[in-house]
Chains A and B, each alone.
Chain A
Amino acid sequence: MLSSKYDVVIGLEIHAELNTKTKVFCSCKNTFGEEPNTNCCPVCVGLPGALPVLNKKAVENTIKAGLSVGCSINNLAVFERKNYFYPDLSKAYQISQLVRPICIGGNIKLDNGKTIRINRIHLEEDAGKLIHKTKTIGTLVDYNRGGIPLIELVTEPDFSNADEAVEFLDKLRRTYIYSGVANCKMEEGGMRCDVNISVKPHDSKELGIRTEMKNLNSFKMVKRAIEYESKRQIEELEKGNKIIQQTRKWDDNKGKSFALRSKENSHDYRYFPDPDLLTVEITQEDVEKIRSTLPELAQDRIKKYVEIYNLPLYDAKILTNEKFVSDYFEECLNLYNNPKQISNWIMTELLKVLKDKPNCENLNEIITKENLVSILELLDSKQITRPNSKILFENICFTSKNAKDVAKELGMLSSLSDEEIKDFVKQVINTNPDAILDFEKNPNKVIMFYTGKVMALTKGKANPITTQSFIKEILPNYLKK
């Protein structure tokens, strides 16, 4: 294989939109999907005379994001202007951070034990949106997104393949969501990834020339783009060609990357400290205060689920994929201590329903934790059968009904009196007297046999546990005979 001769070196730059009420430098709302240019003020559109004013929450969330991945927090944070002309950039500069970002260092451990080092996380403003139409209509510019707070995490070039990169992204996404700093809705562009790739011969110490692919907004895209681009670079080198340092666009439909036209000057951004913004002092006290608000993160929960609740790693990962799912799991666990059963139900039943409800962010909307626990109790106490439990679930989903009431209404619950059950027990023993003969040898088998007969006769209405206890009580009388 060709690739075995080469090392692939990958670094990521990951942008996430922060979870705040307002934009980073003005008081317009931090929302998505409004009519064009309706969520704008003089600052967003870069009107003459407008000035940026930094959002406290955006700074706090950036610090929180940093602490959740082990960054150090700079005691002075500086905002700089990155100057270039592009119509999505209303002021012809983006306010970002270069020399003194809020967070530096940090790392995330992969499952294979490898540590991916984080270089920095800085706070910046998002650009507006360009809608490219036809040649006659041209491009339309909407500044609603302009000024949405973004954090950019830059990793060291520590990845050697696409899977590592995707695992990192997945872990980072969970961490942001758990710490509450970002929602990371990839389909809304809430989390985007730039990938830097270079390849070098195995025995070479020097890094190869790198290319950059921007704005990859799904894990699948990241994986495909990395795989394609590393293969392309290796092939170029094999052909004896040189890699050209360039920005490339990943076309997910074609499954190819291609070079973007770039001007010679486009990289001289002439960064300088933004004179409209003061330097931000971050004290150790500020940092500790924010650290104390950090919740249990996805990684911690996965560990707890596997080690304490004995769930398989696979299940633990699925449960923690979305924080609200994991929160629901823990709420149910508080009411009913059967992690495996709860986990199974969430994974098989609830997540199936959730698939068709992409906007749902609270499983209680599907079924309240109390109702789910009721179903599990009925099932575990054998008061209802497994097939009935599923029917019961379907009946109470998205309703305000009580699980036990519905089970009763549907005639699923054992509604026979003890005397009636005893009569049924006697009846089945009498009609099947031969089975008694095996009792000495295999009592359980016999009990189960008669229980099944009672259940069939009562169409499942008899409580199997009660039934069993009556069989145990009554059967010895027949043996004596």
Chain B
Amino acid sequence: MDKINITNQMNSKSQSNPQATLSNSKFFNLSAVEVIEKIKKREFTCREICEYYLNRMKELWDKNAILEIFDDALQQADNIDLMIANYYKNANPKTALSSLPKLCGLPIVIKDNILYKGKTCSCGSQFMKNYKAQYNATVIDKLLKEGVVILARANMDEFAMGGSCENSAFGACKNAFDDSRVSGGSSGGSAVAVACDMCAVALGSDTGGSIRQPSAFNGLVGIKPTYGRVSRYGLVAYVSSFDQISPIAKNVEDSALILSVIAGKDINDETSLSNNEITTSNIKNLISNKDEKNFIDNENSINIIKQAVKLSKKAVNLNGLKIGILKETQKLMQKTEYNDQYNRISQWLQNQGATLKEFSVPYFDLALPTYYTLASAEASSNLGRFDGVKYTTRSEKASNIPTASLDDVYLYSRSEGFGKEVQRRIMLGNFVLSSGYYDAYYMKALKIRRDLKNQFNEIFENCDVIIFPTAYGEAFKIGEKTTNPVEMYVEDMFTTMANILGIPAISIPCGLGKNNLPLGLQILAKANNEPVLYYLSNYMTKNYEQSKNSLATTLLNLNKTNQEKIQKEDSLC
């Protein structure tokens, strides 16, 4: 296991005191918005909060959420503090606040498949364990420009293939609230880092649910934006047609803030979208105040995402909101123990003034086979470049045998480098693309995808959002679904649809299950309709008791177990 020893990276100036990380700490469980504001106002320094987060990582190292703390993390923090000091020296304190970068000093964690120049990016794979990024991903450039500090890289399923983080070559990441359960995946490390307060927000990537499902399993807010909203340049590709980078956050406002910074057209990604394409018609219908309506019309398109959150804070009901529910997902949930909980959400939404409408998508079940066909096909091609020639480890077997041929380099390096699940998907992908099967599988899946898009477009003519669960239930046990790959695939039943359609979907906490672990509700909207997702998500997390409580309760639980653990350790000494 390749874990980086972090003890010597902790700064000597501040003694790492576990007590400091408890709930009475002034740093505990702050949102990103709060962290930025407090740093800007110099209530604490960037270095102080970074040290707090690094301590949390160290304390909870066994969660296996973090693969590496970057050795210059505190150096980055000092640079930010210096910058702030200069701003205050040279500017009027009042203007200094607004002229400081938008995310000034915000410490973040990134998923291990996003390139940060000079830093290791391993994609959770043995094959890439020594790979040092040769350039910055576009999202990294954008975030650094707005003043973030990148603390660490987070664990993930190898090459983002998996829904539990058990496929990481560096060991499974454990659920934030229960060590025996999965974190979810593939962005499991990012989610657990946020839930365990190792950072206020983290970047993940979502290809078939890889942000939303771990967000649901750890009581967080995770959005998969419209395909193209965020540049994929510098994200190690798994499925080019579906991949999106996005934040995992503690609350809706933080999510909107980070997305508004990283979204936008990128000259290095043809498939990226201009922010001008973001539509606001759906939330305009919900707002009765004329001034606010005008305000939206005149607002810069990307700020609409943040404004949607602000406007929903003032909202007292959901009058005018049309919510779609699907017969097929209702049926899937009937078999589960969580059915009632989700039905109560629908009831509550109606009580708030929303109209509920039922629709049917007869081919809903086909999302999963469509996803696995297209995903494995693209993955088999995207992963061809990992071959032991330009980067990635070359097999020692091939290097040591003087007679080794080029084919030996390919074969041995790839066979030793890739884990089992990755190899399975490459094989499946080559099957669905190979001559004789292309039309029956790959082409068929493309056509079903197109038909599903058309069906959903029709449904969105008659509703603003569609809701259904993020997953079947709470986080499952580690090892529970590793014997048969299909059992694991079926876990993606509710999440792959948004990726296939390219539409935005957000997962928000919506209560605790029978094991006192978080459940997630998914809200989907038409492409480019992120504002309405943020509006409803924020309304729910402010007003729906279950959504409101789940985070706080679980975090308190977490804290309690930590306190108990520390007390136990103390008594042992």
The yes or no answer to B572 lying at the interface (CB within 8 A) is no
Check A278–B236 contact: CB distance below 8 A: no
B131 partner, pick from A48, A50, A54, A277, beta carbons under 8 A: A48
Q: Are A270 and B434 in contact (CB under 8 A)?
A: yes
Q: Given A268-B434, A278-B271, is A49 in contact with B390 using a C-beta cutoff of 8 Å?
A: no
Instruction: Kindly state whether residue B435 has any CB partner on chain A within 8 Å.
Output: yes
Closest chain B CB from A168 CB (angstroms)? 31
Is B237 part of the contact surface with A, judged by Cβ < 8 Å?
yes
Q: Looking at the complex, which one of A46, A268, A277 makes contact with B390 (CB distance below 8 Å)?
A: A46
Is A272 located at the chain interface by the 8 A CB criterion?
yes
Cβ contact within 8 Å between A42 and B135: yes
Q: Taking A81-B381, A275-B240, A276-B271 as contacts, is the C-beta distance between A87 and B389 under 8 angstroms?
A: yes
Give the shortest distance, in Å, between A401 (CB) and chain B (any CB): 51
B452: Cβ under 8 A from any A Cβ: no
- Docked CA distance A268–B438 (Å): 11
Stretch at the interface among B227-235, B352-360, B520-528: B227-235
User: Which residues of chain A (417-457) have a CB below 8 Å from chain B?
Assistant: none
Which of A51, A85, A272 is B232 in contact with, Cβ under 8 Å? A51
Complex interface bits, A246-274 against B, C-beta within 8 A gives 1, otherwise 0: 00000000000000000000001010101
Within the complex, what minimum Cβ distance (angstroms) separates B420 from chain A? 21
Check: A313 CB closer than 8 A to any chain B CB.
no
Which stretch, A2-10, A90-98, A343-351, A382-390, touches the partner chain B? A90-98
The residue in chain B whose Cβ has the minimal distance to the Cβ of A27 is B267
Who on chain B is nearest to A273 by CB? B446
Q: Complex Cα distance A307/B121, Å?
A: 68
Q: Output the residue of B134, B268, B386 with the most chain A CB within 10 A.
A: B268
CA gap between A87 and B232 in the complex, in Å: 25
Q: Determine if A83 is an interface residue (Cβ-Cβ < 8 Å).
A: yes
Question: How many Å lie between the Cα of A45 and that of B430 in the bound state?
Answer: 23
B378 within 8 A of A: yes
Within 8 A of B (CB), among A137-176: 139, 141
Q: Which of A47, A49, A51, A275 has the most CB of B within 10 A?
A: A49
Which one of B123, B237, B268, B410 contacts A85 once the chains associate, using CB atoms below 8 Å?
Answer: B410
The answer on a CB contact under 8 Å between A42 and B406 is no
8 Å CB interface, A64-96 against B:
81, 83, 85, 87, 90-93
**Is there an interface contact between A277 and B270, defined as CB atoms closer than 8 Å?**
yes
Q: Are B384 and A49 in touch, CB under 8 angstroms?
A: no
Of B137, B239, B386, B433, which is within 8 A of A272 by CB? B433
Whether, in the assembled complex, A53 has its beta carbon less than 8 Å from a beta carbon of chain B, the answer is yes
Asked whether any CB of chain A lies closer than 8 Å to the CB of B442, the reply is: yes
Q: Which residue of A lies closest to B384 (CB)?
A: A92
> Do B241 and A48 touch across chains, with their CB atoms under 8 A apart?
no
B390 contacts A45, C-beta separation under 8 Å: yes
Most chain A Cβ neighbours within 10 Å, of B241, B267, B385, B430: B385
Most chain-B Cβ atoms within 10 A of its Cβ — which of A54, A91, A92? A92
CB-CB under 8 A from A141, the residues of chain B are 389
Question: How far does the alpha carbon of A50 sit from the alpha carbon of B391 in the complex, in Å?
Answer: 14
| Chain A residues, Cβ within 8 Å of B121 | 48
User: Assuming the A-B contacts A91-B384, A270-B433, are A51 and B233 also in contact, with contact meaning beta carbons closer than 8 angstroms in the complex?
Assistant: yes
Distance in angstroms from A315 CB to nearest chain B CB is 49
B267 and chain A: residue at smallest CB distance: A53
Residues on the A chain within 8 Å of B237, using CB:
48-49, 276
> Which A residues lie within 8 Å of B478 (CB)?
none
Residue in B closest to A43 when the chains form the complex, CB atoms = B268
Residue B59 CB within 8 A of the other chain: no
Q: Nearest Cβ in chain A — how far from B427, in angstroms? A: 13
> Is the C-beta of B141 less than 8 angstroms from some C-beta in chain A?
no
Whether B270 lies near A270 (C-beta < 8 A) is no
Is B271's CB under 8 angstroms from A272's CB?
A: no
Contact B234 A53 (CB under 8 A): no
**What residues on A are CB-neighbors of B271 within 8 Å?**
51, 275-276, 278
B166 CB-CB contact with A under 8 Å? no
B269 contacts chain A at the CB level, 8 A cutoff? yes
Point out the residues of chain B lying under 8 angstroms from A48, CB to CB: 115, 121, 123, 128, 131, 236-237, 385-386, 391
Q: Which residue on chain B has the smallest CB distance to residue A91?
A: B385
With most chain B CB atoms within 10 A of its CB, the pick from A45, A50, A91 is: A50
Please give, as numbers and ranges, the residues of chain A lying within 8 Å of B430 by CB-CB distance. 270
Q: What chain B residues lie within 8 Å of A87 (beta carbons)?
A: 389, 406
Q: Which residues of chain A are within 8 angstroms of B269 by Cβ–Cβ distance?
A: 51, 53, 276
How far is B267's CA from A77's CA once the two chains are assembled, in angstroms? 20
- Listed residue (A48, A49, A91) with the most chain B CB atoms within 10 angstroms of its CB: A48
| Count of CB-CB pairs between chains A and B under 8 Å | 92
Residues in B104-157 with C-beta less than 8 Å from chain A: 115, 121, 123, 128, 131, 134-135, 137
Chain A minimum-CB-distance residue to B236 = A48
A42 and B434 contact, Cβ closer than 8 Å, known pairs A49-B235, A91-B384, A141-B389: no
Residues in chain A near residue B115, CB distance under 8 A: 48-49
Cβ-defined partner of B241 (8 Å) among A42, A50, A52, A275: A275
Cβ A272 vs Cβ B385 within 8 A: no
The reply to whether the CB of B387 lies closer than 8 angstroms to some CB of chain A is yes
Q: Take A268-B434, A272-B377, A276-B270 as given contacts and tell me if A90 and B385 are in contact as well, using a CB distance cutoff of 8 Å.
A: yes
Assess whether B442 is in contact with A49, with CB atoms less than 8 Å apart.
no
CB of B210, distance to nearest CB on chain A (Å): 16
Task: Assess whether B385 is in contact with A49, with CB atoms less than 8 Å apart.
Answer: no
How many Å lie between the Cα of A47 and that of B438 in the bound state?
A: 28
Q: Is the CB of A278 within 8 A of B270?
A: yes
User: In the complex, what distance in Å separates the CA atom of A406 from the CA atom of B115?
Assistant: 68
On chain B, the residues within 8 Å of A277 by CB distance are: 270
Q: CB-CB < 8 A to A53: which residues of B? A: 267-270
- C-alpha spacing A54/B270, complex, angstroms: 8
Which B residues, 175 to 201, have Cβ-Cβ distances below 8 Å to chain A? none
A272 vs B429: C-alpha distance when bound (angstroms): 11
- Specify which chain B residues have a CB less than 8 angstroms from the CB of A272 in the assembled complex: 377-378, 381, 433, 438, 442
Closest-by-CB residue of B relative to A136 is B402
Q: Which one of A47, A54, A141 has the greatest number of beta carbons of chain B within 10 Å?
A: A47
B390 touches A90 (CB 8 A): yes
Asked if B384 and A83 sit within 8 Å, CB to CB, the answer is yes
Residue among A81, A91, A270, A277 with most chain B CB within 10 A? A270
B residues less than 8 Å from A85 (CB atoms) = 384, 387, 410
| Chain A residues with CB under 8 A of B240 | 274-276
Chain A, 197-220, contact with B by CB distance < 8 Å: what is the 0/1 string? 000000000000000000000000
- Shortest beta-carbon distance, B206 to chain A, in Å? 16
In the bound complex, residues from chain A placing their C-beta under 8 Å from that of B390 are: 45-47, 90
Residues of chain B with a CB closer than 8 A to A45's CB: 390
Which residues of chain B come closer than 8 Å to A276, judged between CB atoms? 237, 240, 269-271
Q: Which of B137, B267, B271 has the most CB of A within 10 A?
A: B271
How many whole Å from B462's CB to the nearest CB in chain A? 30
A270 touches B381 (CB 8 A): yes
Fill in one digit per residue for A115-143: 1 if any B CB lies within 8 Å of its CB, else 0: 00000000000000000000000010100
Which A residues are in CB contact (< 8 Å) with B433?
83, 270, 272
Interchain CA distance A274-B131 in the complex, whole Å: 25
Nearest-CB residue, chain B, relative to A265: B434
A1 CB to nearest B CB, Å:
41
The 9 A-B pairs with the shortest beta carbon distances in the complex, nearest first, are A92-B384, A275-B240, A270-B433, A275-B241, A49-B234, A48-B236, A46-B385, A91-B385, A49-B115
Q: List 9 A-B contacts (CB under 8 A).
A: A48-B236, A48-B391, A51-B268, A83-B433, A92-B384, A139-B406, A268-B435, A272-B378, A278-B271
Which chain A residues have a beta carbon within 8 Å of chain B's beta carbons? 42, 45-54, 81, 83, 85, 87, 90-93, 139, 141, 268, 270, 272, 274-278
